[in-house]
Amino acid sequence: MAAFIPPPLPSDDKRWKIVNGTMRKNGFARHALIETLHTVQSAFGYLDDDSIRFVARSLRVPLSQAYGVVTFYHYFSLKPPGKHTMTICAGTACYIKGADKLIAAAEKQLGIPQGQTTKDGQISLMTARCVGACSRAPVVLCDGEVAGEMAGEKMVEQLERWAVE
């Protein structure tokens, strides 16, 4: 059997080299699928069809299986994120301390349901299943930065600042 030759990189974009690096580090083994998808998402911000196809071919995983993995895990996103991301923690401690009100306030302010990005691509509204900062509940992540004991008005102010940026 001829030796396996991985497919060429999809473009000159240097980030593909990082993706390829993760696969090479794992010897292009099939079990590196999730690791590689993590690398793609951290390099590109999300997973598009081309990247899933490239990873599946490189690791010799059926495309259906790769797509199945991408859609199974919440962490992977198929849509590009907005310029800013407001993530509201919906863990138990945050729920007890009123995270549902924060989510409702943010949805009203942005006019989009959770999990979506505003039309101008400015702000994504996400929820998380516990970020582990429960002692500071309710918690939101403003572009990944943990902000605890969040009040509705304070969060809306942040959203307003982002909207006009």
Partner 1 sequence: MTIEELEQIAKSVSQENEKYDFEVNVCMDLACMSQGADRLRESLIKSAEASGKKVLVRRTGCMGPCSSGPLVRVDPEELLYHHVKAGNADAIVESLGGAPVPELQCDLNDHFDKQVRVVLENAGHIDPEKIDDYISRDGYKALLTALTEMTPNGVVHRITESGLRGRGGGGYPTGLKWGTVAKAGGDLKYVICNGDEGDPGAFMDRSVMEGDPHRVIEGMAIAAYAVGASKGFIYVRAEYPVAVSRLTTALRDARRRGLLGNGICNTPFNFDIEIRLGAGAFVCGEETALLASIEGRRGTPRTRPPYPAVSGLWGKPTLLNNVETYANIAPIIRNGGKWFANMGSERSKGTKVFALTGKITNTGLVEVPMGIKLREIIEVIGGGVPGGHTFKAVQTGGPSGGCIPAEMLDLGVSYDALMAVGSIMGSGGMIVMDDTSCMVNVAKFFVEFCKSESCGKCIPCRAGTAQMFTLLSRICDGSGTMEDLNLLISLCNTIKEASLCGLGMTAPNPVLSTIKYFRNEYIEHIVNKRCPAGVCNMAAPVPEAAVEVLA
- Contacts with partner 1, residue ranges (CB under 8 A): 30-35, 37-38, 61, 65, 68-69, 72-76, 90-93, 95-97, 128-137, 139, 145-148
What percent helix, strand, coil does the chain show, rounded to 5? 50, 10, 40
Burial class (CB in 10 A: 0-12, 13-18, 19+), 113: exposed
Our CB check for partner 1 shows the closer of 68 and 121 to be 68
DSSP letter (8 states) at residue 74: T
Our CB check for partner 1 shows the closer of 120 and 145 to be 145
Nearest distance from residue 159's CB to partner 1, in Å? 19
Nearest distance from residue 5's CB to partner 1, in Å? 21
CA 95 to chain centre: 22
Nearest distance from residue 12's CB to partner 1, in Å? 28
Our CB check for partner 1 shows the closer of 11 and 42 to be 42
Our CB check for partner 1 shows the closer of 48 and 122 to be 48
Nearest distance from residue 36's CB to partner 1, in Å? 9
Our CB check for partner 1 shows the closer of 11 and 101 to be 101
For residue 138, say if its preceding peptide bond is cis, omega within 30 degrees of 0: yes
Nearest distance from residue 83's CB to partner 1, in Å? 21
3-state secondary structure 2-71: CCCCCCCCCCCCCHHHHHHHHHHHCCCCHHHHHHHHHHHHHHHCCCCHHHHHHHHHHHCCCHHHHHHHHH
